[in-house]
Structure 1
Amino acid sequence: HGLAAYLRNGPGPTILLRADMDALPVQETTGLPYASRVRMRDQDGAEKSVMHACGHDMHVTALLAAADTLARARRAWSGTLVLVFQPAEERATGARDMVDDGLYEKVPVPDVAIGAHVTPYRAGVIGTRRGVAASAADSFLLTLHGRSAHASAPHASIDPIVASASLILRLQTIISREVAPSSFAVLTIGAIHAGDRENIIPASSTLKINIRSQDSETRDKVLGSMKRIVEAEARAAGGELECVLTPTTSFPLLVNDERVTAAIEETFCQLFPPGNSGYNKHMPCMSMSEDFGILASSIGIPSCFFLYGGTDPEVWDQMEKEGRTGEIPGNHSGGFKLDVERTLKTAVDGYVGAALTFLVARENDELVKGKM
C-alpha cells in the first residue's frame, strides 16, 4: 500500500514530493548493527532475506524530514505540499497502481512533481539532468518447454538446458553486433532455472530477461531482435521446443522537464557547492530505471528527478585515488551502505530546495500554471 498526505498553506502552486518505500530480496552483508535480518516469502512462496538494497529507507526518511522542515517553515512559503510514499517501484507497478486507485481524487492535483534517488556516489554530491534522466526497462519471463528424458538417453529428449545455453549466448550478440556503439542498451539474463537432478533432463527451463534502453528506436530494435532469436531457437530445436515469452515489468523512459529542471538548477547552484564533490547539473543519464514519471505523465504535468550520493567521503576519496570506485557496493548490492547523516542532509536540502523553488519564487509562477 502507498501513503499520501498534503498540507495546504494558502494560495499558490501545488508541489508533489515523492519517495519510494519497497525493499529487495537481497541478504544484507554490510555488517552494520542495524543490518536487516528480515525474511519474507516471494511471489513463488520461497523464503528469502530482504533489505533496503536500493536505499528506499533513506528516501522515506529524507521525505519525512523534508516535510517536517517545510511544515515548520510554512510562514516562508505559500501553496500546497503533497507527499507521496510509493510502494512497488522495483516492480514498476507502484506509481501506476496509486494513480489507478484514485490518488488524485484523494490529494490535490499537483502542478509539478519532484522525485529523488540515492546512489553510491560520494555523500554530498547532488545532481540534475535535463531531458532523459533514466533508462526504459523491459523484463520478461521466458519459458522453454521441451521433453524430459533420462540423462543416458539425451536423443529421446528435447533438452531445454542446451537450448537455454544457446539462447543466452546468442542474446548477448544483440548488444555487441546489432546496436550501434553510440546507442545505450543492456540485455541481462538475471536468472535461469531448470531441473532438479543430474541424471534427469528436465521438461522445461525458465530465464528472466531484463532490457534497458534510452531511446525508443533502440528499445524497439532490441525487443524485436530478442523475439526473433527466441523464435529461431525454437525452430533450431526441430520445431518441438515451445518458447513462451511473458512480459513481467515495464518502466518507461524517465524524462525531466527542461524548464522545471532549469529552475531547480538555479536553486541548487545557490544551495550546494559546484564541482565533483557538490552540485552537478549535467549528471549522466541513469542506466537504472524509475516509475516516478508516471505520477506526472498520467496527469500531464512536468516533473524533475534528482540524484544524490551516499558513500562515506573518506571511503570514496580513497577508492578514487586507487582507481577503484567501481568496486564500491552500489544499489541492489548486499553491501550497499550509506553515510547516513551526510546523505540525509543533502537529500533533505534537495527536497526542500526543489519545493521552495516553486512555493516561494514568484518568477517561476508561469511554470506551474499550465504554461509549459
Structure 2
Amino acid sequence: MTTHISADLSQAIRAHAEQTLETIGSLYRQLHQHPELPFQEHQTSAHLADALEAVARDTPGMEVTRGVGGTGVVALIRNGEGPTVMLRGDMDALPIKEDTGVEFASTDTADTDGGSVPLMHACGHDLHSSCIVGAATVMAAMRDQWQGTLMLICQPAEEIFGGAKAMLEDGLYRRFARPDIVLGQHNMPALAGNVGHIAGRAMAAASNLAITIHGAGGHGSMPAHTIDPVVIAAHVVTRLQTIVSREVPPEETAVVTVGRLHAGTQANIIPHHAELDINIRSFDNDLHRQLIEAIERIVRAECDAGRCPCPPDIRVINDTIALYNDTGLVERLRRAHGEHFGQDALYDMHRLNGSEDFPLFGDAKAGGFGGDDIPCAYWFIGATPAERWAATPGITVADKMRHLEMPHSPHYFPGNPVTLRTGIEALVSGAVACLD
C-alpha cells in the first residue's frame, strides 16, 4: 500500500521536524567541526549512536547497534506488521582543507601513510547522517501514523566505496532485517528547500585501478641497456584514449582518466618501474566490465611490445556499480515529496557521472546478499540559499549548478538550516509513503 501524504500528515511531519531542528543542528555542527576519514569515523559514529540511543530510550521497539562493518551504526524501529524500509546516510569525510569561513569550520587533521592531511566534510556526509537521526526522531514520534519496520543506516567509507560492502559482509540483512525498499539522498548545489528526482540510470559505475609497469632501469646515457617503463607508460596513456573513441558505442557515456603517472627520481636515471592510477566511469555495468578488460588488454600489449621483463601488476583499488533508480519507486517518492513540499519545490535531476556505493544495498549479486534485487531510489536535496541561487546566472537547475561550488570543493558548504530541515522531511515523507 502507498500512503497518501495528506495535508494533516504533512503538517505533522513539519511540526515534529521543527521540534528536532535545534538538537539536530547541534549534532550537525559537532560532526562538521570534527570530520574523520573512511573507516576512521570512531567519534562520528559514537555521536550518531548516542543520538539514536537517546531516541530509542523513549521509543518502544527501537534498538541501536554500533560497530557494524567497522564503524557503521544500525537502528531499527519495529512498529507492527508491514514492509521494511531502509534509510541510508553516509558519514565519512575527505582529506581537504576547509575554506568555507563558517564559524564551526574544521581545523582537524589526520595522520596517513602519506603524512598529515587536513580534514573536511566537503561532500555533506555530516548533513546526511544528521538527517538520519532527525528522521528517526520524527518517525519515532509519529508511530501512530505508520506500520512496519524502519531501518536506519549510518554508513562508513562511502568515499572509497567500502562501507556498503563492509556492512553487508558483516551480515546487515542477516542480523537485522532484509528491507523491501532502500532509500537514500544526497545534497547538491540546487535551491535549498527543493528536491530533485531521476528515474533509471542515475549515477555512474566507477573503478579505480593501480597499474605498475616493470622495466629495467639504468643510466640515462645508455638507454639501449635498459627497458624504459616511462616510454611504455606514455604509450599506454595515449592508447587508452582510444577506448572511449573507438570501443564505446556513441550512444553510451564512458570516461577513462589517468589521474596519476609516476616514474623516476631525476633526469639521468631510467627507472625500474612506472606507476599509473586510472579512473573509469560508465552508466552500464556490462560496458564497465568491458572497459576494464580493454585497459588490461592495452596495458599488457604495450608491455609486451616494450619488452618488459615481467607482466604488469594490475589491481582494482576500489569500485562500485551504476545506480539504477527503480522507476515505479521514484514515481511514488516524487508524488509523496510533491504532496509534502509542493510541486514547485520539485525539479528533474540530470544524470550524474559521480558514483556511489549506495546501489550495492539493492543489487543482490553485487551486494553479495543473494535472492532478488531490492528496489532502490536516491534523490537530491538542494543546498544553495535562496539569495545566492537568485544571483546565480542561468535558467535551468543544470545551468545554475555550473556556476556554483560542487561537493569536494574546499568552499562547498551545504549545511544551512533549510537544507537540514528539507533532508529530514524528505526522508520522513519518503519513508511514510512506502510504509503501511
TM-score normalized by the length of structure 1: 0.87
Q: Tell me the residue number matched to 1:303.
A: 376
Aligned residues: 356
Pair 201,95 (structure 1): closer, same or farther in 2 beyond 3 Å: same
CA contact (8 A) 1:131 1:255 kept: yes
| Alignment correspondent of 1:272 | 341
Counterpart of 2:32 in structure 1 is none
* Equivalent residue in structure 2 for 1:168, among 212, 237, 248: 237
CA change 1:30–1:241 in 2 (3 A) is farther
Amino acid at match of 1:330: M
RMSD: 2.3
Query: How far apart in 1 are the matches of 2:427 and 2:337?
Result: 10
For the Cα contact (< 8 Å) 1:63–1:348, is it kept in 2? yes
Q: Contact 1:5–1:107 (CA<8 Å) still a contact in 2?
A: no
Tell me which protein shows more helix as a share of its residues. 2
Greater mean alpha carbon deviation, residues 253-262 or residues 310-319: 310-319
For residue 320 of structure 1, give the secondary structure of its aligned residue in structure 2: coil
TM-score by length of 2: 0.75
CA contact (8 A) 2:165 2:360 kept: yes
Tell me which of 128, 147, 150 is aligned to 1:81: 150
Q: Which digits, 9 at most, give the CA deviation of each residue in 1:131-190, with x for residues without a partner? A: 222211122101111122233433433232333233223212322343233211111222
Q: Secondary structure at the match of 1:304?
A: strand
CA 1:204–1:100 in structure 2 vs 1: closer, same or farther (change >3 Å)?
same
Matched, 1:6 2:76: yes
Counterparts of 2:181 and 2:260, CA distance in 1: 38
Q: Are the structure 2 counterparts of residues 76 and 135 from structure 1 closer, same or farther at C-alpha, using a change threshold of 3 Å? A: same
State the distance in 2 between where 1:163 and 1:120 align.
42
Whether 1:284 aligns to 2:350 is yes
Q: Is the 8 A contact 2:323 2:356 kept in 1?
A: yes
1:26 is aligned to 2:96: yes
Change (3 A) 1:96 1:324: closer
Which of 312, 323, 330 aligns to 2:385? It is 312
Which gives a bigger RCO, structure 1 or 2 (Cα 8 Å, sep 6+)? 1
- Report how far residue 241 of structure 1 moved: 6.6
Give, in angstroms, the shift of residue 339 of structure 1: 4.8
Listed one character per residue, the Cα deviations across residues 232-282 of structure 1 (whole Å, up to 9, x for unaligned) are 22133134474221112121122222222221121012123435xx312x4
Q: Which residue of 1 aligns with 2:28?
A: none
Deviates more, 1:265-274 or 1:134-143: 265-274
The corresponding residue for 1:50 is: 119
Q: Determine if contact 1:135/1:289 at 8 Å carries over to the other structure.
A: yes
Q: 55-64 or 335-344: which moved more?
A: 335-344
Matched with 1:368 is none
Which whole-Å CA distance do the structure 1 matches of 2:186 and 2:221 have between them?
Answer: 53
Amino acid at match of 1:354: G
Counterpart position of 2:164: 95
> Equivalent residue for 2:318?
249
Quick one: percent identity of the two aligned structures?
Answer: 37
The amino acid that maps onto 1:135 is A
| CA–CA distance in structure 2, aligned partners of residues 241 and 331 of structure 1 | 41
Query: Are 2:215 and 2:308, in contact at CA under 8 Å, matched by a contact in 1?
Result: no
Gaps of 5+ in 1: 363-372
**Whole-Å separation in 2 of the counterparts to 1:11 and 1:185:** 44
